[in-house]
Structure 1
Amino acid sequence: MASSNKLKIFNDPIYGFIRIPNTLIFDLIGHPYFQRLRRISQMGLSYLVYPGAHHTRFHHALGSMFLMQKAIQALRFKGVELNKEEEDGLLAAILLHDIGHGPFSHAMEHSIVNNISHEDISLKFMEELNDYFNGSLTVAIAIFTGNHPKKFLNQLVSSQLDMDRLDYLKRDSFYTGVAEGNTNAERLITMLNVVDGNLVVEEKGIYSVEKFLLARRFMYWQVYLHKTGIVAEQLLINILRRARFLIGEGSTIKASSTLQYFLENNIQKENFGDNVLRLFSKLDDVDIMSAIKEWQEHEDIVLSKLCKMIINRRLLHIKIKKEPIDISKMQNRMEKVKKEYKLTDKEVSYFVFSGKIENKAYNKENQNINILRKNGKITDVAKLSDHLSLDALSKTVTKYYICYPKEAV
């Protein structure tokens, strides 16, 4: 293999120049498993709402690694002990934390495979890459799984104030144009410290934490749980569900060989072996979109209609309410759509359905964001904050939705 300069830089629209810190990171980025992230959208079908939201998991992984470099510098400056092995482990863990995402990120997490999360698949990728790189990711895997004796290392990768969240809020805010989601990640990182092996934020950074939590709440309601995005995501899930059903009935469904495999087989945690992992590594947004373009001309009216809705952005109508959806109203709409589209009872469920969405910006019961006060005491941010709404952010807000074709009702 031809040699190349392994200390390259990426020009990122959020942070400017991102430097590759070592040859292991360079080689990980160059591996086909990681390059696949260029073809996995960060925000699923949110570009149907926010046209600029075409950034990828590749962008996000590099940005998270950049913030981790800043966090390592900030903690070392304050005397926190971090050796070279732990530094490399942190950088590799955050770089690979999302490598297990399937097509369109969260939208299809339980459609391609069943009962296995993207975190589980990320771990499988990391274990295989560890074999490939002769054990170089052993520390990274210990950090990623929370098995490293220094707990703050895992908290930098996965907690309520980790480098993952700091990057995706700032990045998604930038690409959607939703300014309310923008956070001062650099200041928050500067305020980090470690006490008794756990990550804390110094008291003078409390207002930055409040802003971060509020930004997260705004982004969930305005972007991640936007009603049009919800409809598009559910249509995508229904398309895959219908394709699986038709294959089970003996119909011919054209798709890439990789997608075909996952449609024809029920892949779960128990049978997700090395061969399945390698097939999964070849699956990305391109497989799904090319299939949807093909299926819009399928003879099955349900599959055809669903695909055309996505391709032409003629989505279902959605209503969001504070109370559960009235069953009689739901059945009334189903009857009208059945008659209009000439569908069976089973078929109409692809076009008329309900569900719920939840938003909880801060979890007081798990991995608290702790503030290091000037007197040396550690206090949960929700107790210390004088912001009236911060305690409310720790309560789960649930809303209910119903989707249906407006022209048929």
Structure 2
Amino acid sequence: MKKKAPNKLKILNDPIYGFIQIPNSLIFDIIEHPYFQRLRRISQMGLSNLVYPGANHTRFHHALGCMHLMQKAIRVLIFKGVEISKEEEKALCIAILLHDIGHGAYSHALEHSIVGGVSHEEISLKFMKKLNDEFNGELGLAIKIFEGKYHRKFLCQLISSQLDIDRLDYLKRDSFYTGVTEGNISSDRLIVMMNVKDDELVIEQKGIYSVEKFLIARRLMYWQVYLHKTSLVAENIIVNLLKRVKELAEKGEKLFSSSALNYFLYNQINQNNFTDETLEMFSKLDDYDILSAIKEWTSHEDKVLSSLSKMIIDRKLLRIEIQKEPFTENQLKEKINKFSKKLELSEVETNYFVFSQEIKNHAYNSKKPILILNKKGKLKDIAKASDQLNIQALTKPVIKHFICYPK
């Protein structure tokens, strides 16, 4: 008897959008691939669950949500007479599905500590090219769109712009899982208002208030969630912790770690030596490797490493002060001297516990404008089309400074 082929046109249930359809068998096979399945083990919001206990959703969740919204956007544009071929449609869904595939464990922490000088976007591209080889070149067009090299600009803008599908999903999703209602945007309405004019992705005038709400929601989500003071402290502790581990590994110290983490601790990885083997090891590295290692490191004899590890595991974090003006060299020095004596650590070691940085919230960048299409068919930047004064204000980046030190 002939073996029945598996059904690849699955339907998934998403807590935000309800049922999500997998549009074709190629996408089903990409989702089934170990590279993509790894995203189930990468949290979307890093350590934000130390502030918002519900924020445990994953990059896997987010990628599927993006693919669902992309299907909606394509249907809306075709309905409005925009020509999008079947090939382009498939490529858009693949490009948005894989846009985050290069994210490392705890999102941005790895980029700043263990895997130096290679951004998650570059790693995403490496994964896509590898998958393209495995799937006989079927991802070629998706890669072109992802890189922004396709001749139809609006298709690239759906993947990456100030009102792209990625943002429409993560704001709504992160707002849902954190319970921060200020971020709850109407992604449906924004998509229904999309159109194309002169090869630019635009929003029809009727959607102007939805765009205003989207920009304000983004600003509020940054201050309230992504740049929340406790999340900032936790993320910086984990970055410092991984830097310390890397430093100990370079001195030849034996450290508990999984084989994937071990590879990145004991090898200097950069842009030039990021080989296929590196990519394979990276695809095996996720939040679980980092967290299980941190649990083990709480009892390491290195005081800096064990203290930082305990802070994360027990949620006993550093104190943080945030202000508009930068902290002076003297203020930082004073704190370093004070805690160096108190913790009985050298000045260099104290830098792991006392540090100062800046944070930036740029809600709207007018260099890459969101264009509003008025009734006469003219295009206008949202900052000029809106009668909301705070939209103009959102074009200026807001910079704040913070200092962290032990309690």
TM-score (norm 2): 0.98
Task: Tell me how far apart the structure 2 counterparts of residues 250 and 88 of structure 1 sit (CA, whole Å).
Answer: 48
Q: Give the letter for the 2:26 counterpart.
A: L
Cα distance in 2, alignment partners of residues 311 and 167 from structure 1: 30
* Offset at residue 387 of structure 1 (A): 0.3
Shift of 1:329: 2.0
Aligned to 1:391: 392
**How much is the aligned-residue C-alpha RMSD, in angstroms?**
1.0
Please tell me whether the aligned partners of residues 180 and 215 of structure 1 are also in contact (alpha carbons under 8 angstroms): yes
Distance in 2, Cα, partners of 1:140 & 1:92? 6
* Cα displacement (A) at 1:2: 7.9
Residue in 1 that maps onto 2:66: 64
In structure 1, the gaps of 5 or more residues are: none
Q: Is the 8 A contact 2:41 2:286 kept in 1?
A: yes
1:196 and 1:68 map into 2 onto residues whose CA distance is 21
* Helix, strand or coil at the partner of 2:196: strand
| CA-to-aligned-CA distance 1:198-247 (integer Å, 9 cap, x gap) | 10000110000000000000000000000100000000001111111111
Which residue does the alignment assign to 2:217?
A: 215
The residue number in structure 2 matching 1:400 is 401
For residues 90 and 330 of structure 1, what CA distance do their matches in structure 2 show?
Answer: 48
1:81 aligns with: 83
Q: 1:204 aligns with which of 203, 206, 215?
A: 206
Match of 2:305 in 1: 303
Q: 2:244 aligns with which of 237, 242, 265?
A: 242
Percent identity (aligned): 64
Match of 1:260 among 252, 262, 266: 262
Partner of residue 271, structure 1? 273
Report the Cα distance in structure 1 between the residues aligned to 2:308 and 2:14, rounded to whole angstroms. 36
User: One-letter code of the match for 2:262?
Assistant: Q
Greater alpha carbon shift after TM alignment, 337-346 vs 302-311:
337-346
C-alpha distance in 2, partners of 1:313/1:320?
Answer: 20
Deviations 1:299-352 (A, max 9, x none): 001100000000000000000010001222221211121111110111000000
The CA deviation at 1:106 is 2.1
Specify the alignment match of 1:45 in structure 2: 47
Q: How does 1:355-366 map to 2 (within 5 A)?
A: 355-366=357-368
Secondary structure of 1:330's counterpart equals: helix
Q: Structure 2: which 5+ residue stretches go unaligned?
A: none
1:174 aligned partner: 176
Alignment partners' CA distance in 2, 1:292 and 1:2: 46
CA distance in 2, matches of 1:347, 1:364: 42
CA contact (8 A) 2:148 2:156 kept: yes
| Aligned pairs for 1:5-16 within 5 A | 5-16=7-18
Match for residue 371 of structure 2? 370
Which stretch shifts more, 151-160 or 325-334?
A: 325-334
Counterpart code for 2:201: L
Distance in structure 1 (CA, Å) of the matches to 2:365 and 2:76: 26
- Residue 110 of structure 1 contacts residue 116 of structure 1 at CA under 8 Å; is this kept in 2? no
How many residue pairs were aligned?
A: 405
Contact residue 205 and residue 372 of structure 2 kept, 8 A: yes
Indicate the residue corresponding to 2:329 in structure 1. 327
- Give the secondary-structure state (helix, strand or coil) at the position aligned to 1:333: helix
User: Is contact 1:130-1:137 (8 Å) kept?
Assistant: yes
The residue aligned with 1:90 is 92
> Whole-Å Cα distance in 2 between the matches of residues 403 and 291 of structure 1?
24
1:365 offset after TM fit, Å? 0.9
Contact 2:114-2:246 within 8 A present in 1 as well? no
Moved more, 115-124 or 307-316: 115-124
Deviations 1:281-307 (A, max 9, x none): 000000100110011100001100000
SS in 2 for 1:394: coil
Deviations 1:110-158 (A, max 9, x none): 2231111111110110000001000110110111011111111110011
Distance 1:140 1:298 in 2: 46
Which amino acid counterpart does residue 369 of structure 1 have in structure 2?
Answer: I
- Provide TM-score, normalisation by structure 1: 0.98
Aligned to 1:287: 289
Is the partner of 2:236 in helix, strand or coil?
A: helix
1:357 is displaced (CA, Å) by 0.1
**Aligned residue among 227, 230, 247 for 1:228:** 230
